[in-house]
Structure 1
Amino acid sequence: MNEKKIGRLQIILLGLLNGIAPLAMDFYLPGLPALQHDLETSASLAQITMTATLFGIALGQALIGPWSDHIGRRRPLIAGMLLFTLSSLAIVFAPNIWLMIALRFIQGLSGSAGIVLSLAILTDVFSGPALTKNVTINQTINGVFPVLAPVLGGIVVGLADWQMTFWVLTITSFGLLLGVVFFLPETRKPLVAQQIVRSTASLKLLQNRHFTRMLIAQAAIMATLFTYIAGSTFVLEKNFQLSTTAFGIIYALNGAGMAVMTYISGRIARHIGAYATLGWFIKIAIGGALLLVGTLAFSPNLWLFVGTLMLTISALGGTFGMSMALALAGQREHSGAASALLGVSRYLVAGIMAPVVGLFGETSYAPMAILMLVTLLVAYLFYRMSRYGE
């Protein structure tokens, strides 16, 4: 146990490192029309800049997690934050959409180091209830940042322009880089050659039924969140004709709801355990999704839509940390690889769900509501299979 290596400052730093790539993912979205105009490109190519980041985040975790199991956490984390800072700065001066897409992929690839290694470090250091508590805090930031990022980005774009969002990311990531260099100790010893061979031979995480089922459950939960992110923009702006300000307020309320439910879930887990807590919050989210689907039977009503949506999305806040902590439990020897597999599944699913929602059109929120319900039912199915061995 290495808990003495990690204090409150380091836990806050790890949370921010986990949040920088999700923040970068859609922080600039309010400036997308201006970006499209400035780079003289199409709307579809402008939107690919977000997809490129998602796939960069997924691939980066697949590479960085296992690598860190072999050489330690600090060096990959420092390299990732340095590359993220440089790519963010380069995007400010990108002369065309193709270079920007490439840089956004690199930004996601390098930023993924913060996601996968923050989890790996927590797993190196903590176990049991302490691991659940700290992973829950860490994953809340990962889940809330994509929801709040467009709100914060709207403020920045309103005061300046879309390039300013990447200046903010450059400065923020440079600050995090300094934090890693000066305040974050190494929590994993590099493996010697014999250990690497043994480690590679024993890396059978996907054959572990408990791990695989929780991996699918948390990927389905992430799919629910990104179905909301991808679909609600069109619903609120086009179906309900909301202003950018009103749209931002609703996003902020959902983000706040997630944060509150995360705190509550952590308190509940102390008394009934992580498994039971996760089950209750998935059930609450399913209930909200059922009510959301039920509103389709009535004429479109903003308050019904927002109320049922907020219940569903807020409940997700109680699932992120629990599902991740349960999946990582018992995986300390290969925590980097385990974190990588979990992260890859989440962001691959996220990259797929965004265009899938768009395929069904923008005239109704029915596709979004139904997809959210389906993904939550999948999450609950694999949660039960993991808990009860069904």
Structure 2
Amino acid sequence: MKPAVKHRFLMLGLLGTLSAFGPLSMDLYLPALPVIQHDVNASATLIQMTITMSLLGLAGGQLIIGPLSDHYGRKWPLISGLVLFTLASLGIALSNNIWVILLLRLIQGIGGSAGQVLSRSIARDLFSGHELTRYLSVLMAINGIFPIISPVLGSGILTLTDWNGIFYLLAAIGAILIVLALTILPETLMVDQRTQAIGHAFRGMGELVKTKSFMTYVLTQGLVYGALFSYISGSTFVYQQYYGLSAGVFSIFYAVNGLGIVLITKLTGNLIGKYTEKQLLSVAITIGTLAGGVLLANALTLNNFWIMVVGLWIVVGMVGMVNTTATSLGMQQSGQQAGSASALLGLGMNAIGGIMSPLVGAFGTTSPLPMASLIIAAELAAYLLWTMNKQTA
């Protein structure tokens, strides 16, 4: 029996915000990366490692919090993670040492992982089938708002104060979410639906890893996120240092790409019922791969700014369709292991994204070529994986 939900619209907004800890943790401070690099006297690769550490925390934390939530319920693991996120954000705001920042970014990611993994788990507790896909499309459209507003807000903060102020804001957001979670979020996993022993919860995750169809969704989505984070990690340097845009103008282009995620995610929800999740996933992966190829060809030849802008908009926008359909298909296979399934989906996204992010800096930030090369590599790998396995997924 699905639990009854009060304050449905408020809870939808809360879950959408909780699912957006990736954008909240990264997009808000992207315009400040060159400033942080100067202030802490670190290399571009080390600065991009602040993205990687957050992603590793987001990935690793989900592997713990997901199974724990299958045993203890959703609410208190979520609140514990929010407290950790808030304290780590405050610590970063008070630091100017790159090594301390890297450690706290890892801890911040672990705390933030609770919001990511449990927003999906709570949705699975409440819905199933096409209804779950439609709900996830709304949830992820809310999620997609944050890449639009975050860099604009981040660049605005930089006009008023230094980059530390961005992390004070993240700490404040974490504190607000703690209050909202305590007051309006119900427990959605009833006691009789929980795994009876904590060991069973972790073994259930192992069974999911052995399921080829489930892991196809995990890895396909993860590789598309690898392309997304190649863009996230490289775009601030390409736009600002190679093409000479200011932080404010960069944030506008970044926001437009975020709007693409919102629009494509909303379109996905509207198309469900007319087309299956698998059909939409195939279309999104194919279009993303073609756009990645255009980006690489442009970087090797014309280096035309507007071709790059359009290509990136398509690549980023298709993430919305991949995310909605792959998450729904994966969660529908979870049975009573929704927390574990959500954790593995999150692991794929954040771990592969974390691997790709520093590679942009390692290969160089003085041209669009490293970013474009990594985007097409990830997109092509996702396309090949899905094409070879979609019949059995």
Do both share a fold (TM > 0.5)? yes
Q: Which moved more, 1:155-164 or 1:294-303?
A: 294-303
Taking the aligned partners of 2:245 and 2:73, their CA distance within structure 1 comes to 48
Contact 2:45 2:361 in 1 (8 A): no
Q: Write the distance in 2 (CA, Å) between the matches of 1:315 and 1:152.
A: 24
* 1:215-240: CA deviation from partner (whole Å, max 9, x where unpaired): 11000110110111122222222332
**Match for residue 129 of structure 1?**
130
For 2:123 and 2:362, how far apart are their aligned partners in 1?
A: 39
Counterpart in the other structure of 1:90:
91
Displacement, 1:279? 1.2
Looking at structure 2, the residues matched to 162 and 328 of structure 1 have their Cα atoms a distance apart, in angstroms, of: 38
Indicate which of 231, 235, 242 corresponds to 2:245: 242
Provide the residue aligned with 2:30 in structure 1.
Answer: 29
Over the residues paired in the alignment, what is the CA RMSD in angstroms?
2.4
Residue 385 of structure 2 corresponds to 382
Cα deviation code 1:358-382 (max 9, x no counterpart): 2322343233223222222222233
Write the mapping of 1:174-323 to structure 2, written as runs, cut at 5 A: 174-190=175-191, 194=196, 196=198, 199-203=201-205, 204-296=207-299, 298-323=301-326
Contact 1:214 1:382 (C-alpha < 8 Å) held by counterparts: no
Structure 2 CA distance for partners of 1:177 and 1:305, relative to 1, 3 Å: same
Distance in 1 of aligned mates of 2:196 and 2:211: 24
Deviation at 1:4, TM superposition (A): 2.8
5+ residue gaps, structure 2, are none
Cα displacement (A) at 1:125: 1.1
The structural deviation recorded for 1:66 is 0.6
The Cα offsets for residues 114-169 of structure 1, whole Å up to 9 and x where unpaired, read as 00011111111110111111222333455664575333211111222212212211
Change in CA separation of 1:382 and 1:144 when aligned onto 2, cut-off 3 Å: farther
Cα distance change on mapping 1:15 and 1:197 into 2, 3 Å: same
Cα displacement (A) at 1:247:
1.6
Gaps spanning 5+ residues in structure 1: where? Answer: none
Please tell me whether the aligned partners of residues 204 and 337 of structure 2 are also in contact (alpha carbons under 8 angstroms). Answer: no
Q: Does 1:362 align with 2:375?
A: no
**In the alignment, residue 150 of structure 1 is paired with which amino acid?**
P
Deviation at 1:291, TM superposition (A): 2.2
Q: Distance in 2 between matches of 1:12 and 1:256?
A: 17
Structure-1 separation of matches of 2:49 and 2:374: 22
Cα offset, 1:202, TM superposition: 4.7
Letter in 2 for 1:262: T
Deviation of 1:270 after TM superposition, in Å, equals: 2.5
| Distance change >3 Å, CA 244–CA 97, structure 1 → 2 | closer
Report which stretch shifted further, 135-144 or 111-120.
Answer: 135-144
Normalised to the residue count of structure 2, the TM-score between the two structures is: 0.91
TM-score of the superposed pair, with normalisation by structure 1: 0.91
Q: 2: distance between equivalents of 1:189 and 1:3? A: 8
| C-alpha distance in 2 between matches for 1:137 and 1:193 | 29
Take 2:248 and 2:304, find their aligned partners in 1: how far apart are those partners? 19
- What's the secondary structure of 1:28's corresponding residue? helix
Confirm or deny: 8 A CA contact 2:48 2:357 kept in the other structure: no
Matches within 5 A, 1:166-181: 166-181=167-182
Q: Which amino acid is 1:65 matched to?
A: G
1:347 Cα deviation after fit: 0.8
Instruction: Output the CA distance in 2 between the equivalents of 1:370 and 1:174.
Output: 39
From the superposition, tell whether residues 21 and 372 of structure 1 become closer, same or farther in structure 2 (CA, over 3 Å): closer
Q: Which amino acid aligns with 1:245?
A: G
Q: Which range is displaced more, 170-179 or 108-117?
A: 170-179
CA deviations on 1:313-358 (whole Å, 9 max, x unpaired) are: 2222221111111111121300101111111121111111011122
For 2:337, give the aligned amino acid: H
Residue in 2 aligned with 1:61?
A: 62
Task: For residue 26 of structure 1, report the CA deviation from its aligned partner.
Answer: 4.0
Are the structure 2 counterparts of residues 277 and 365 from structure 1 closer, same or farther at C-alpha, using a change threshold of 3 Å? same
Q: Say whether the 8 Å CA contact 1:136–1:325 is kept in structure 2.
A: no
Indicate yes or no: 2:353 matched with 1:350.
yes
Check whether the contact 1:20–1:173 (CA below 8 A) recurs between aligned residues. no
Look up the match of 2:77: 76
The number of residue pairs the alignment matches comes to 390
Q: Once the 2 structures are TM-superposed, how far is the Cα of residue 32 of structure 1 from its aligned partner?
A: 3.8
Alignment CA distance shift 1:230-1:5 (3 Å): same
Residue 249 of structure 1: how far off its partner (Å): 1.7
Distance of aligned partners of 1:322 and 1:166 in 2 relative to their CA distance in 1, 3 Å threshold: same
List per-residue Cα deviations over 1:19-74 (Å, max 9, x = no partner).
13431234223334544555566655444333222211111111100111111001
